[in-house]
Structure 1
């Protein structure tokens, strides 16, 4: 069951209250997990048990996704605001400089938290922000198509498709290289999460001008990319290595854009190695 914490985040019109849903399991040094756009914290379920054997794992629903409501009026779903909200979340949970791992949008946020020295290590799985303009348009087009399909499809149809490996491929092959490995229940839940994400449009709009161009110094950084990523093409990992030259660049064979489901053991090992 998720818990919810209320945070105070500064806006141009004064402080605003932001509610964030999260789960917290395990023991050891804290590890913050951040999902991608349109997803929810359950994206990390395949690896949480493996990570919780060595870390106190805090999986977060980003504002406007999963069980976290959209940001209130006066706050934009942009990189500075979400970074500030995550910093306030750590303070509220009495977590000082956790390790952080993020996927896609979450990977971009993880790198930004590292740049701001709010965390002690960063693992970014297929992070956003290392695209060319053409690659960004391609990725945003795919995301918008996925969102439209999720919103148009009746729930009984989603449930029926999720019962077969072929149907799960129809619903999720854009993000998973091995969609048959995802459970029917998880596929239904994440399809509904994408359809109902209150922050999707605002977040995508804010991302139109985002590129990550600053080095992240003074802490360990791991950048990992699925060899079969169809959303953010793997050559962007090489570009990320040029921007952050001290980062460890890891290829994830047989993995798509959301690799936690495709190879949980490999992804958990990469995260734990990066946070040691």
Structure 2
């Protein structure tokens, strides 16, 4: 579950003396760093397109579309280098994740897509997102550092209207929009994502 994964990170930070370390996460990782901040763990927090802020209908659509996409990627595992080497192939496979999949570098996306196909816990992680509780919030003044939430204007996985729910639940957070950007700012706007992280953490 998201809670037990976050428990593991919180325990690791404590054991390593990293109680006030800055944390950065994307998608499910973005949700986890927000959960760490909610618990008072870590320092500054940057969450990029975090999960956990869906409506019930949005959550159903998320699960109903992403599960077949992951199954397709796994079925095409051996052909991924060829498919992702083509602008047409990237567009067909990555349209849900990127605002401009045809423009992405094959070397950028292939390791991520292979990881999605190969990771043994992908199904369990998806279950944790779709069947577990939604993200809880943190009252104003209770997070340990600055909280910054970045969101792609063209995100089709965690759709942009969810940003308002995230801000409502984390009133101390600063919301940053990535224009012409899908679910992965590190794909569609890598320089801007890097700049946001560096400017928002100590």
TM score, norm. by length of structure 1: 0.67
Structure 1 residue corresponding to 2:101, chosen from 171, 175, 179: 179
Q: Cα deviation per residue 1:159-191 (whole Å; 9 max; x = unaligned)?
A: 221222221222222111122343223433222
* Residue 92 (structure 1) shift: 5.3
Structure 2 counterparts to residues 97-108 of structure 1, below 5 A: 97-108=20-31
* Residue 93 (structure 1) shift: 4.8
Q: Secondary structure at the match of 1:95?
A: coil
- Kept in 1, the 8 Å contact 2:18–2:42? The answer is no
1:161 aligns with 2:83: yes
1:143 aligns with 2:66: yes
- Kept in 2, the 8 Å contact 1:102–1:125? The answer is yes
Structure number with the higher helix fraction is: 2
CA change 1:266–1:187 in 2 (3 A) is closer
Please list every run of 5 or more consecutive structure 2 residues that lacks an aligned counterpart in the other structure.
none
TM score, norm. by length of structure 2: 0.90
Q: State the aligned residue count.
A: 198
- Aligned equivalent of 1:240: 166
Structure 2 residue corresponding to 1:229, chosen from 152, 155, 175: 155
CA distance in 2, matches of 1:151, 1:130: 27
Q: Cα deviation per residue 1:16-66 (whole Å; 9 max; x = unaligned)?
A: xxxxxxxxxxxxxxxxxxxxxxxxxxxxxxxxxxxxxxxxxxxxxxxxxxx
- Kept in 1, the 8 Å contact 2:19–2:43? The answer is no
Please list every run of 5 or more consecutive structure 1 residues that lacks an aligned counterpart in the other structure.
1-77
- Kept in 1, the 8 Å contact 2:146–2:201? The answer is yes
- Aligned equivalent of 1:134: 57
Q: Secondary structure at the match of 1:124?
A: strand
* Residue 97 (structure 1) shift: 2.0
Q: Which moved more, 1:248-257 or 1:78-87?
A: 78-87
Q: Secondary structure at the match of 2:42?
A: coil
- Kept in 2, the 8 Å contact 1:123–1:224? The answer is yes
Structure number with the higher strand fraction is: 1
Structure 2 residue corresponding to 1:251, chosen from 177, 180, 187: 177
Question: Considering only aligned residues, what root-mean-square deviation do their CA atoms show, in Å?
Answer: 1.8
CA distance in 1, matches of 2:151, 2:162: 9
More relative contact order, 1 or 2 (CA 8 Å, 6+ apart):
2
- Aligned equivalent of 2:35: 112
